[in-house]
Amino acid sequence: MSLKLTNPLAFLDVETTGINVIHDRIIEIAIIKLMPNGNRITFYKRINPEQAIPPESSLIHGIYDDDLKDKPTFKQISKELMAFLKGADLAGFNLLRFDIPILVESFLRAEIAFKIENRKIIDVQKLFHLMEKRTLKAAYLFYCQKELEGAHNAMVDIEATLEVLMEQIKRYENEPVVDALGNKLGVIKNDVATLHDLTNTNMVDFAGRMVYNDQQIPIFNFGKHKGKSVSEVLKLEPSYYNWMIQGDFPLDTKRKLTQIKMSMV
């Protein structure tokens, strides 16, 4: 089967120094451009980000500082890339949330306005989630092969949730679990502690304003101190604690922040 195209359709993916659209940089870009006549044209570049790549990012994509020291900067390839994408619609996996925003940001730093207003955009991830629902009703049908009657009645929903969990354990027991980046998280076991470890998040507070980093140290997950140790920020800027306590934050967030502050005494 071939796609019915009016304009070229450029499938693009980028690798970056990290996931912050503002501060991180593109280090690799790959594009397959489908032409209306069925031809495929490719564009591939590795790019010098002009900043160090964090080790944790290199472990994910396998690209290190030394691999890029002789490569061109984004500004140096920006006009060539702009010409390649001229008149093309865009497609990719999760490109609306990440690839396009960081690409637009990169073009702007190169003093080029990359406009998407007149381009059609297909996010394959969004289409996947639209068609393969992630609701309890969809899970109940998938795992239990039954329609969920009376959804959104609390007792009906929780009975279905129990059934779904039992079917998940039956289906996946002893299978390895990996995250979206391919990192092994563990193995499914018929054991509450194991299932807790697999499904628990790294959030310190339920609102996710603070999270644990890889060293299990609480860090801020928002604002000007995002990524910084909570205790270090409170030491260097004590007024930040007062600002949060007096601010429009959930009580749970304020409670957890206070616990961290008290542990520093």
Residue 122 included in any domain: yes
What is the model's pLDDT at position 243? Answer: 96
Residue 4 included in any domain: no
* Residue 121 sits in the same domain as residue 27: yes
> Which pTM value belongs to this model?
0.64
Residue 123 included in any domain: yes
* Residue 72 sits in the same domain as residue 122: yes
Residue 205 included in any domain: no
Residue 196 included in any domain: no
* Residue 153 sits in the same domain as residue 55: no
What is the model's pLDDT at position 182? Answer: 76
Own/partner pairs, 197-203, CB within 8 angstroms, 24+ separation: none
* For residue 77, pLDDT beyond 70: yes
- How far is Cα 250 from Cα 231, in angstroms, rounded to an integer? 19
Domain housing 148: 136-190
Q: Kindly report the CA angle at 74 between 68 and 75, in degrees rounded to 5?
A: 135
Token pair belonging to 34: 């489908």
Residue 218 included in any domain: yes
Characterise 145 by phi-psi region: left (phi > 0), alpha (psi -120 to 50), beta (else): left
Q: What would the pLDDT profile of 12-71 be if each residue is shown by its tens digit?
A: 999 999 988 888 999 999 999 999 999 999 999 999 999 999 998 998 899 999 999 999
What is the model's pLDDT at position 60? Answer: 85
